[in-house]
Structure 1
Amino acid sequence: MNAQKNGCPGADRGVRHMPIRAITAALALLVGLAPGSVQSQGTTIKIGVPVPLSGSSANAGTDIVNGAKLAAARINAAGGVLGKQIELVPEDDACDAQTAVQAAQKLVDAGVVAVAGGYCSSAALPESTTFHRAGIPYVLDASTNPQLTEMGYDNVFRTIGRDDQQGPFAASFMKDVLHAKRAAVIDDNTTYSKGLAQNTVEALKKNGVDVVYANSITPGQMDYSPTLTRVASLKPDVIYYTGYFSEAGLMVKEARQLGLKMTLMGGDATNDPTLMKTAGPAADGMIITTAPLAQFLSGAHSYVDDYTKAYGQGPGPYSVYEYDAVGVTAKAIADAKSVQPSAITAALHKMSGYPGATGTIGFNAKGDRNKAVYITIIVHNDKFEPYRRQDAEGHWAAMK
C-alpha cells in the first residue's frame, strides 16, 4: 500500500500497487473462510486480532480489523507466507479486562500462531499475560501504556509509541507552543487514560507549568458540566483530556456551551472522527496529541486510497498501525521460516528496517518501536489537519 517493499515473499513494488479489484477479491476470500475449514487442511496461518467490536469503542475496533484485512489480503494476493495464506481471527475484547482474558484464551484455543491488535490498554494488559503463558507473540498496534513492555514479557511488541513519550511531548507543546502557565489534566480512570495523565502531569511540573487540576471523570455519563465548571473556576490556560473520544466529544461541546475560552486538548484516544460528530462545530480548534494519522504519512497514501475504496470511507487513526502490525508479523514468520510462535518471537526481536506504511519499524530489547513519533493535529472545518511537530533537536515547527 505504500511505495516501499514489504519484504514478504513475492511482495514486490508492483504488488503493493496492485489494482483494488485484486485486493478486494483476496479480501473476499480471506473473510469468507468458514471457521477452521482451511486450517484443518494446514493451508492457512492464523493470526489473532483482539479488539473492541462492541461497546463505545467498537468503531475503533472495526477500523483496526479493516486495516488487518487489507494487510492480509495484500500478503495473500502475493502468494502468502511460506506457501500458506494468512487467516485472520478477530475476537471482541470489548475494552474490558475480564472479557479480554476470555477473548485471548479463545484465540489461543483457535490455534493462532501470533497476534496483532489491541486498542484499550486495560484489555491489552490481561491479554498479554494470557499470550505470554501460551508463548504466542503479541504485536500491539494502539495500546500505549508503558507497563505492556515493562513486565519482562519477551513476546510483546508494538508499532506505536508509549504514554511516557506522549506525556512529555504534550507538556512541551503546552509550555513552548501554547505558552501555558496553568494547566488542567482530566482522565477517565482507565489504565490508558490515567497513565497518560500521570506522565503529562509529571512533565508539566518539570517544565514549570502549574497543574491546577488533575482528576478523573466517570466515563459514560451524560453531563460533565459540573466538572468543567469546577475546572474553569481555576482559570487554566489549557485543559488536556486523556480519555476516549466518546466522552471527549461531549465534554468539548459542553465546555463551549458553558462559554469556556481556554485551549482544549486531547490525547491520542480522542483522534477518532466520531469526536466531531458528537461535538459538532464546538470541536473546531481542539488540538490532539497523536501518532501521525495515515493521511499525514507520506508512505501511506496508497493505503488510504485502498482503505477508502474497500470500505467507502477514510481510515481511522490506528488501522494503518494494525496494517503494519500484521505486515511485520508476516515478515517475522517468513524470516523464521516457521510457524512456531517461539521462532516468530525470536524473528521479531531481530527485526530492523521493516519498511512499513507508518515508516521504518524495528524493536528495542523491550519490544517497543524504535523512533516512535508523535505530532499534534487540530480540528478545522469538521476534519483533522496537521498542526505542529518537533524536529530531531526538539524545536517546534508547523506541519503542512
Structure 2
Amino acid sequence: MNPQNNGTLHATIALTLISLAALAPGLAQAQTIKIGVPVPLSGSSAAAGTDILNGAKLAAAKINAAGGVLGKQIELVPEDDACDAQTAVQAAQKLVDAGVVAVAGGYCSSAALPELTAFHRAGIPYVLDASTNPKLTEMGYDNVFRTIGRDDEQGPFAASFMKNSLHVKRAAVIDDNTTYAKGLAQNTVESLKKMGVDVVYADSITPGQMDYSPTLTKVSSLKPDVIYYTGYFSEAGLLVKEARQVGLKMTFMGGDGTNDPTLMKTAGPAADGMIITTAPLAQFLAGAHDYLDQYNKSYGQGPGPYSVYEYDAVDVTAKAIADAKSAKPADISAALHKITNYPGATGTIGFNPKGDRSRAVYITVVVHNDQFEPYQRQDASGKWVAMK
C-alpha cells in the first residue's frame, strides 16, 4: 500500500469514528430505562421469587402502556440470587454490568445484604420489597429503601399478639439460622421476655431436612402454649405437619416468611388453624383490587404475599425517575428520599431518613380451608380486634 492510500484510509477511519461519536447521544436517547430485579428464581424460594418478578412485570407493563418514564420504556432485568449470599454477589454484579439505573426486588435478607453492598459501591438505589432485616437500613447507606416493614417492628407485634390476644404464658421460638429468621426470632424473644412471657425454647433448625421430630419432641416436653417459627414456608409446612403427627396440640404460628400458599400444599390439613404475622396480603388491601384482577388475568392464579410490594417498589422507583427528570442513579436516590405520600397499592408510601417505610403495617392471618383468612389486627389504641 502506498503512503497516499494509507493516509486516505486513516482519514476515512477518523471521519467514521467522529460520525459514530456524534450519533452516540442519539443512540443513548433510544435506550430503555433498566431496572434490576434480583430474586430467587431457583432453589426452595423460587416460587416466591417468581411471584415477585410477576409483580414487577405488571408494574412495568402499566407504566409502559402509559408512555413510560421520561419518554422511555421501562426494561426489567431479572437476575437469580437463589437466596444465597455468594450467588447474590454475582447477581448484583451482573445487574451493575447490565447498566441498571435502579433496583427493585429482594426476598431473603441473607442475599439482599451482599447485593446492597454491591449496589452501594456502584451508587445504584435499591428498593426492597420483602427483605426485612433491620441491618439493611442501619448501615448509613443513602441508596436503600423499603416498601415493607422491619423485623424489629414485626417481633414486638408478634409478641404482643401472643401475650395480649392468645394470653400465652410459655412460648417456643424456632428459627432456621438464616439472617432473616434469626433476626425476627431475636426481636420476638426479647419482646416476649419484656412482656413477662417465659420463653422455654429458642433455637435453630437446619433447613432442608425431612424430619424435624427430634426438635419437636424436645419442644413438646417443655410444654409451651405456642410455637412461633420465624423461617420460610418450605420448612414451616413440614414442621406443622410433623407437629400434628406427633400429637402437639398447642397453637402453631409463623412469621412473614411462611405466608406463601406453598405452605398449605406442603402441610395439607395440618396447616389449618396456623396463625401468621405478616404485612397485609394483596387480597386484604383496599387499594390492590385492580392489581389482584390483573395478576389473575395475567398468570391464572392469585398473587403470593410480596408481589404487590414489588409492584409498588417498581412504581415508586418510576415516580422518583419522573420527579428527578433524570435516570441517573444518584438523582433517583435523592428523589426517593423526598417521597412522602405516594398512593401505592399497599397504601401510602413514604420513606424515613434511613429509607424505611414510614407507615409499616402488620396483621395476623389464619389458615382455614386451605386459604389465608384475615384474623386480628391492632387498632389505634393497641387493642387486638377482629379483621373483617
Give the shorter-chain TM-score range.
over 0.9
Equivalent in 313, 331, 340 of residue 325 of structure 1: 313
The one of 284, 287, 298 aligned to 2:275: 287
Q: Report SS of the residue matched to 1:355.
A: strand
CA 1:373–1:323: 2 relative to 1, 3 Å = same
What secondary structure, in the 3-state scheme, does the structure 1 residue paired with 2:79 have?
Answer: strand
Aligned residues: 363
SS in 2 for 1:194: helix
272, 286, 291: which one pairs with 1:298? 286
Query: Quick one: which of 167, 173, 176 aligns to 1:185?
Result: 173
**Does 2:143 correspond to 1:155?**
yes
- 1:121 aligns to 2:109 (yes or no): yes
The question of 1:164 aligning with 2:149 is answered no
User: How far is the alpha carbon of 1:302 from its aligned partner?
Assistant: 0.9
The code of the aligned residue for 2:68 comes to G
State the match for 2:134 in structure 1. Answer: 146
Q: Which residue of 1 aligns with 2:353?
A: 365
Q: Distance in 1 between matches of 2:212 and 2:320?
A: 46
TM-score by length of structure 2 reads 0.93
Aligned equivalent of 2:252? 264
Measure the CA separation in 1 of the matches of 2:309 and 2:387.
21
> Which residue pairs with 2:191 in the alignment?
203
CA deviations over 1:251-303 (Å, ceiling 9, x no partner): 00000001100000000000000000000000000000000000000000110
Segments of 5+ residues of structure 1 without an aligned counterpart are 1-38
Residues 167-207 of structure 1 deviation map (CA, whole Å, 9 limit, x = unaligned)? 00000000001000000000000000000000000000000
CA distance in 1, matches of 2:184, 2:379: 22
Match for residue 214 of structure 2 among 212, 220, 226: 226
Deviations 1:143-190 (A, max 9, x none): 000000000111000000000000000000000010000000000000
Aligned to 2:75: 87
SS at match of 2:63: helix
Question: Partners of 2:240 and 2:118 in 1: how far apart?
Answer: 37
| Aligned counterparts of 2:325 and 2:193: Cα–Cα separation in 1 | 50
What is the match of residue 254 of structure 1? 242
**1:344 maps to what in 2?**
332
**C-alpha separation in 2, matches of 1:47 and 1:248:** 33
After the TM superposition, which segments of 4 or more aligned residues of structure 1 sit over 4 Å from their partners? none
Give the distance between the partners of 1:399 and 1:224, measured in 2 at CA.
33
Aligned-pair identity in percent equals 86
Deviations 1:79-135 (A, max 9, x none): 000000000000000000000000000000000000000000000000000000000
1:301-351 alpha-carbon deviations (Å, 9 max, x no partner): 110111000000000000000000000000000000000000000000000
Work out the CA distance in 1 between the residues paired with 2:214 and 2:94.
42
How far residue 395 of structure 1 moved from its aligned partner, in angstroms, is 1.0
Q: Does 1:133 align with 2:146?
A: no
Task: Tell me how far 1:42 sits from its aligned partner.
Answer: 3.1
RMSD of aligned residue pairs (Cα, Å): 1.0
- The structure having more radius of gyration, on CA atoms, is 2
- C-alpha distance in 1, partners of 2:183/2:209? 21
1:391 is displaced (CA, Å) by: 1.3
Q: What SS does structure 2 have at the residue aligned with 1:215? A: strand
State whether structure 2 residue 296 is matched by structure 1 residue 308: yes
SS at 2:207's partner residue? coil
Q: Distance in 1 between matches of 2:33 and 2:170?
A: 53
SS of aligned partner of 1:185: strand
Question: Which one of the candidate residues 355, 365, 385 is aligned to 1:377?
Answer: 365
CA–CA distance in 1 between the matches of 2:176 and 2:106? 19
Distance (whole Å) between structure 1 residues aligned to residue 318 and residue 94 of structure 2? 21
CA distance in structure 2 between the aligned counterparts of 1:212 and 1:136, rounded to whole angstroms: 44
**Cα displacement (A) at 1:242:** 0.2
2:229 is the counterpart of 1:238: no
For the residues of structure 2 that align with 1:391 and 1:349, how far apart are their CA atoms? 29
User: 2:153 is paired with a residue of what secondary structure?
Assistant: helix
Pair 1:274-2:285 in alignment: no
CA distance in 1: counterparts of 2:285 and 2:29, whole angstroms: 40
Counterpart among 344, 347, 356 of residue 344 in structure 2? 356
User: 1:339-372 CA deviation, whole Å, 9 max, x = no partner?
Assistant: 0000000000000110000000000000000110
1:168 partner amino acid: P
> TM-score, normalised to structure 1's length?
0.90
Q: Are positions 1:388 and 2:376 aligned together?
A: yes
